[in-house]
Structure 1
C-alpha cells in the first residue's frame, strides 16, 4: 500500500508526550540532516502503484502486478525505520503519540474519504448488488478500523481470484497491514533499545538491528510455511508480511548496504528493476504467494533502494527521479485508494461499457481523482492548525471520531437496505421450492412450454443472483489444498445406490440440485470438489504449487473413488481449464486425453460415468448489465462465449458406459447466448450458474442418473 512516507523528515519534537530511554541524547534531528527525501525511492513508489493499478485494470496483461504492494512494504520499512532510528539516537526515545498523530493526519483523511464514498455507493442498489451488501458493510467497517487484512484472513478470501463479487474496499487489506506495522514497529524498536540500555549495557543501534533481524527472519520462515499449509489467509496476515518491512529496515540500519560505487549501484539498481518486471509479468494468481516467491519483488525493491549513485542519467536512480515518475509517486497513495472502487462500480453504471476506450477513460479518471485528493485533502490535512497546534491526542481522538462516523454511515446503508435484503433471501428460497411453470431451461426443453412469454421477468433479481449458490462451501477445497474432502448427502441406507459428484467449481455448482435429487430418490450422494481442478490426468499448465496440488488432489480423489466403488459417477468441468500441452498438438487434445485416461479405470470396473458439456463462459458478470439495462441488451455472441465446449463430448465419444448431457442449445441459439432463459437468471457471476437455473435442469439430470444406475432407459416419459 502506498503510504507516501516520503515526508518523514525531521519532526516537531516540541511535544512532551514521548517514550524516552534515559541515555544522553545526541544532536537534535532537526539539525542533523535537513532533508530525507530520496527521489528514486519516490520513483520506485510510482512503479509499485502502476503495477497494482494496471494489474487490476488488465489482469491478463500484467498477471503479477499485485507485487506492487510488496514494494510498498519494503519502502515503508526503509523510511519508517530510518526515521525512528534517527529520533532514538538523537533524543533517546520516540514521541509515540506524535508519531502516530502525524501518521493519522497523513493517511486518514484520504482513506476515510474513499471509505465514505464506498459507504454511500453501497446504499444504492443500482450501483451495487444487494446480495453483497452485508459483506460490503462488514469490510468497510473492518477497513475503517484497519483490520481488513485480518477479516479477509479469517474468511479465507483469495485476493488473487478473479471470479466472484469483490467489495469496493478489498484493497484496504494492505493499508490495514501497514497501519499495524506503524503501531508494532516503533514498539519493537523501543523495547530492544530499552533492554539494551537498561540490562545489557549494549549499544542501542546494535540491539535494534539484531532484534529486527530476528523478527525479519522469523517472519519469513513463518511466511514460507504458512503459505504452503494455508495459502489463502497467509496472503493477508500481519506476521507473514512483517519480514518485507524488515528487509527495508536492514537497508536503513546497515550503511554498507547502501551502494554508492558507480558500477555497483548501476548493476544493483537495474537488477532490482528487472526483478520487479519479471515478477509483474510472469507471476500470476497461481504463484504460491507470498511464500518464498515473494523474495523476488522484495529483494528487487530493496536493490533499487540500496542503489544510491545518481551520477549518470542512465542509472536507474536518475531515471526514477524524472518528473513524471515523481508525479505518479506523489499521488500514489490516493491513486491506490481510488482505483479499485471505481473498477468495481464502473460495470454497473448505466451506459458504461467495458471496451478498451472505457477502461482507459476510467484509468484517466483515477489519476484525476488522485491528484485532486492529493491537492485538496492529503496536503492540507497534514498542516491543519487546529490539530498541529494542539497535543497529539487531539489528532488521535479526532481521528477516532471520524472513523466512527464513517462506520456509522456504512451501518446506515445496511439499515436502509436490510428489509430488501431479507426479501431477496426469502425470494430465492421460495423460487427454489416453487418455481413458475415452464421456468428456466424447461421453457426450451419441454414442448408443452413452447411460446411461453416471461416478458422482462428475471428471477432471481440481478442484484441478488450472486446469493443463489450452493451453501455447502466446506465441501469445496481451493488453492494448494490437496485433501480429498468428501461430503455425504441423501439416504444413509446400506442398500442405497451411491453417486459421486466430482470435479471443479462447475461440478460444485450442481450440488444443491443433486442433493435434492438424491434425497427424493433415496440415493446416497458423495462429493469431491477442488477449485480449478477438473477430474482429469493431464497436468495443468499452471506452474508452481497450485498445479502440483491439483495433481496430488486428483491422486487422492482416485483413491477415494476406488475405496467407495460407487454405483455411478457424475463429473463436470469448466471448458477454459489451462492444460499443459506437452506431448499434445493442442489444448483440446490434451483435455480429451486427460478425461479419457481418468475415466478408464472406473469404466473398467463397470462404474458408469455421466458428464455434461460446459455452459458458456462470459467475460464479465451479466448481472452487472442486467441491473441497469434491458434483458435483450445483455446477450452475448455464441462464438465468443462457448470456448472449447467439445472436449468433454469428444472424450466420451465411442466410450461405452459414458453418458453426455449437452445443454448448449438451451443456453444459446445459432448466434447468441442468453443471460436470462425462461424468466430465470442463468448466471451468478461470469461462468457459474444460479442454483435456480440448475434446478430447472433437474429432470434431465435425474433421468441420466437413473439410466446410469440401470433404473430406466433415459426417457423423460418414464
Structure 2
C-alpha cells in the first residue's frame, strides 16, 4: 500500500559540463517531498500521513474504505517518480537507470530487510505452526518483489485473507510499486530518445492507464475481485494517473482549467475522496472494480497535483499540519510494521476493548516505525557512503544472499495430518 507516496526526494545535480558524474551523482535534499523546480511540498507529506492513517484504521476495523489509502500512495508514487525522471532528463538528456534503481534500493530495502528478518525470527520462535509456514513461504516472494502474484497463485481472497495466518500479506502493494519502478523508468528512457518527452510520457501514461482500466473491468469477478485488485496489470492506472499529472502538458492544462479556483477544487476533491473512504465496503462495493477505483485514483492524482500547484490554498495548508506531516515521513516503515504488529499482538490483546487495542497497535507500530526511520532508513540513505557504488552493490548482494539463507535455514513445521481411519 504502500511510497511511493514514500519520500521520493532526490534532485539531479549538474556535475561538470552539464553531465552527471559517472551517471550516478545524485544529491538528497530534504526529508520531505519536493517536485519540479525543487520546491518543498509539505502538503504531500500530509497526504501520505492521511494514507497510512486510513490503512491503519481499515486494518483495525474502523474504516471500511481505508484500504483506498493504498491508491493514494500509488498515485503519489507515480507522480513523484515521474517528476524525478523528467527533471533528470531536463538536466542530462537521459535517465541513468542504474543510479535510479540504486536510489530506490537505498531508500526502500534497509527498512524492509529489518522487518523481514525481525518478524521472521520472532514468528519462528513464538508463532503458531500455520503462521510459521506461511511466513517462510511468503518471504522469498517478498524478496523478489512478486508477492502479489504469489498470493494470487495461491487463490487467496484479499478481504478474506487478512486474518492471523500471514504477517507479510500487506506487502503485495510494495511488490506492485517495485514492479512499477522496474518498468516505468525504462519506458520513459525510451520515450526520451524521440523528443517532446513531456507530451509523449503523458500519452504513454494515459494509454496504459486506459488499458489497465479495461483489463480490470473485463477480468473482474463479482464473487472475488482479488485478481483485479492486487494484480499489477489491473492496478497500473493508480500509479500512471499520478505519472500523468506530473507531465508539463497536463499541468499546463490543469492550471488553465482551474485558474484561481484551485482551493475550491481541492476542497471538493478531498471531500469526495473522504466520502469514498467512509462509504465503500471492499468486496461488496462492486462499482469499485468497474470504474470506481479508476475514478478514485484520478481524484487522488488531481489532488496531489493541485496541492503542488496551489500550496497556499487552505486544504494544502491543513495537509501541511506538522503532526500529519511527521506521520507521512514515517509512513513507509509504519506500513511495513503495522500488520505484523496486528497479527503478533492479536492474541495478547484479546481482553482489551476495540479502541484500546487500536491505540496500542498504533502506538507500538509508530514507535517501531520511528526507530526504523531514524536508526535505519535515514543513516543508510543520507550518511552511509558504503551504500553507494561498488561497496553498495556488494552490500546488496550480501543482503540478498542473507535473506535467501534465512528462508531456507529455518525449518518449517510439518503440515497437520488427518487420520482418515478415525473419521466417522
Q: Give the TM-score of the pair, scaled to structure 2.
A: 0.87
- Please list, as runs of the form range in 1=range in 2, the aligned pairs for 1:636-651 lying within 5 A after superposition: none
User: Counterparts of 1:379 and 1:346 in 2: how far apart (Å)?
Assistant: 27
Could you tell me which residue of structure 1 aligns to residue 226 of structure 2?
Answer: 232
Could you tell me which residue of structure 2 aligns to residue 54 of structure 1?
Answer: 57
- Asked whether the equivalents of residues 248 and 302 of structure 1 are also in contact (C-alpha less than 8 Å), the reply is yes
- Asked whether the equivalents of residues 152 and 236 of structure 1 are also in contact (C-alpha less than 8 Å), the reply is no
Q: Secondary structure at the match of 1:241?
A: helix
User: Counterparts of 1:36 and 1:401 in 2: how far apart (Å)?
Assistant: 37
Query: 1:94-139 deviations in whole A, cap 9, x for unaligned?
Result: 1111111111111111111111122112212x4x220343322111
Q: Relative to 1, partners in 2 of residues 1:252 and 1:66: Cα closer, same or farther, differing over 3 Å?
A: same
Deviation at 1:71, TM superposition (A): 0.5
Could you tell me which residue of structure 1 aligns to residue 202 of structure 2?
Answer: 209
Deviation at 1:386, TM superposition (A): 3.2
Q: Secondary structure at the match of 1:94?
A: coil
Q: Relative to 1, partners in 2 of residues 1:291 and 1:405: Cα closer, same or farther, differing over 3 Å?
A: farther
Q: Relative to 1, partners in 2 of residues 1:293 and 1:51: Cα closer, same or farther, differing over 3 Å?
A: same
Could you tell me which residue of structure 2 aligns to residue 353 of structure 1?
Answer: 351
Matched, 1:160 2:159: yes
User: Counterparts of 1:193 and 1:377 in 2: how far apart (Å)?
Assistant: 35
User: Counterparts of 1:234 and 1:53 in 2: how far apart (Å)?
Assistant: 22
Q: Secondary structure at the match of 1:235?
A: helix
Deviation at 1:409, TM superposition (A): 1.6
- Please list, as runs of the form range in 1=range in 2, the aligned pairs for 1:682-693 lying within 5 A after superposition: none
Matched, 1:44 2:37: no
User: Counterparts of 1:408 and 1:212 in 2: how far apart (Å)?
Assistant: 39
Could you tell me which residue of structure 1 aligns to residue 32 of structure 2?
Answer: none
**Which structure shows the higher helix fraction?**
2
User: Counterparts of 2:303 and 2:342 in 1: how far apart (Å)?
Assistant: 30
Deviation at 1:212, TM superposition (A): 2.2
Query: 1:305-349 deviations in whole A, cap 9, x for unaligned?
Result: 13232435xx21110011111111111111111110000111234
User: Counterparts of 2:372 and 2:96 in 1: how far apart (Å)?
Assistant: 29
Q: Relative to 1, partners in 2 of residues 1:118 and 1:53: Cα closer, same or farther, differing over 3 Å?
A: same
- Please list, as runs of the form range in 1=range in 2, the aligned pairs for 1:312-323 lying within 5 A after superposition: 312=313, 315-323=314-322
Could you tell me which residue of structure 2 aligns to residue 268 of structure 1?
Answer: 265
Q: Relative to 1, partners in 2 of residues 1:100 and 1:12: Cα closer, same or farther, differing over 3 Å?
A: farther
Deviation at 1:4, TM superposition (A): 5.1
Could you tell me which residue of structure 1 aligns to residue 278 of structure 2?
Answer: 281
Runs of at least 5 residues in structure 2 that lack an aligned partner in the other structure = 15-19, 25-34
Query: 1:251-301 deviations in whole A, cap 9, x for unaligned?
Result: 110222554867521222112211221221111132235441203431231
Query: 1:21-54 deviations in whole A, cap 9, x for unaligned?
Result: xxxxxxxxxxx96624311111111111100011
Q: Relative to 1, partners in 2 of residues 1:354 and 1:158: Cα closer, same or farther, differing over 3 Å?
A: farther
User: Counterparts of 1:367 and 1:214 in 2: how far apart (Å)?
Assistant: 39
User: Counterparts of 2:392 and 2:282 in 1: how far apart (Å)?
Assistant: 40
User: Counterparts of 1:108 and 1:265 in 2: how far apart (Å)?
Assistant: 37
Larger radius of gyration: 1
Query: How much is the aligned-residue C-alpha RMSD, in angstroms?
Result: 2.4
Could you tell me which residue of structure 1 aligns to residue 22 of structure 2?
Answer: 16
Deviation at 1:15, TM superposition (A): 4.2
- Asked whether the equivalents of residues 64 and 277 of structure 2 are also in contact (C-alpha less than 8 Å), the reply is yes
Q: Secondary structure at the match of 2:220?
A: helix
Matched, 1:223 2:232: no
Q: Relative to 1, partners in 2 of residues 1:241 and 1:163: Cα closer, same or farther, differing over 3 Å?
A: closer
Residue 251 of structure 2: which of 246, 251, 255 is its match? 255
Q: Secondary structure at the match of 2:166?
A: coil
User: Counterparts of 1:399 and 1:352 in 2: how far apart (Å)?
Assistant: 40
Could you tell me which residue of structure 1 aligns to residue 402 of structure 2?
Answer: 405
User: Counterparts of 2:290 and 2:367 in 1: how far apart (Å)?
Assistant: 36
Residue 235 of structure 2: which of 241, 249, 252 is its match? 241
Q: Secondary structure at the match of 1:6?
A: coil
Query: 1:336-388 deviations in whole A, cap 9, x for unaligned?
Result: 11110000111234x76342323312211111111111111111110243335
Q: Relative to 1, partners in 2 of residues 1:306 and 1:374: Cα closer, same or farther, differing over 3 Å?
A: same
Give the paired residue count: 399
Could you tell me which residue of structure 2 aligns to residue 88 of structure 1?
Answer: 89
Deviates more, 1:257-266 or 1:237-246: 257-266
Matched, 1:148 2:165: no
User: Counterparts of 1:365 and 1:280 in 2: how far apart (Å)?
Assistant: 25
Could you tell me which residue of structure 2 aligns to residue 309 of structure 1?
Answer: 310
Q: Relative to 1, partners in 2 of residues 1:385 and 1:285: Cα closer, same or farther, differing over 3 Å?
A: closer
Q: Relative to 1, partners in 2 of residues 1:263 and 1:11: Cα closer, same or farther, differing over 3 Å?
A: closer
- Asked whether the equivalents of residues 79 and 243 of structure 2 are also in contact (C-alpha less than 8 Å), the reply is yes
**Which structure shows the higher strand fraction?**
1
User: Counterparts of 2:90 and 2:324 in 1: how far apart (Å)?
Assistant: 33
Runs of at least 5 residues in structure 1 that lack an aligned partner in the other structure = 19-31, 198-202, 435-694, 699-718
Could you tell me which residue of structure 1 aligns to residue 392 of structure 2?
Answer: 395
Deviation at 1:188, TM superposition (A): 1.0
Q: Relative to 1, partners in 2 of residues 1:157 and 1:37: Cα closer, same or farther, differing over 3 Å?
A: farther
Could you tell me which residue of structure 2 aligns to residue 325 of structure 1?
Answer: 324
- Asked whether the equivalents of residues 79 and 252 of structure 1 are also in contact (C-alpha less than 8 Å), the reply is yes
Q: Relative to 1, partners in 2 of residues 1:52 and 1:207: Cα closer, same or farther, differing over 3 Å?
A: same
Q: Relative to 1, partners in 2 of residues 1:158 and 1:15: Cα closer, same or farther, differing over 3 Å?
A: farther
Q: Give the TM-score of the pair, scaled to structure 1.
A: 0.52
Deviation at 1:228, TM superposition (A): 4.0
- Asked whether the equivalents of residues 9 and 36 of structure 1 are also in contact (C-alpha less than 8 Å), the reply is no
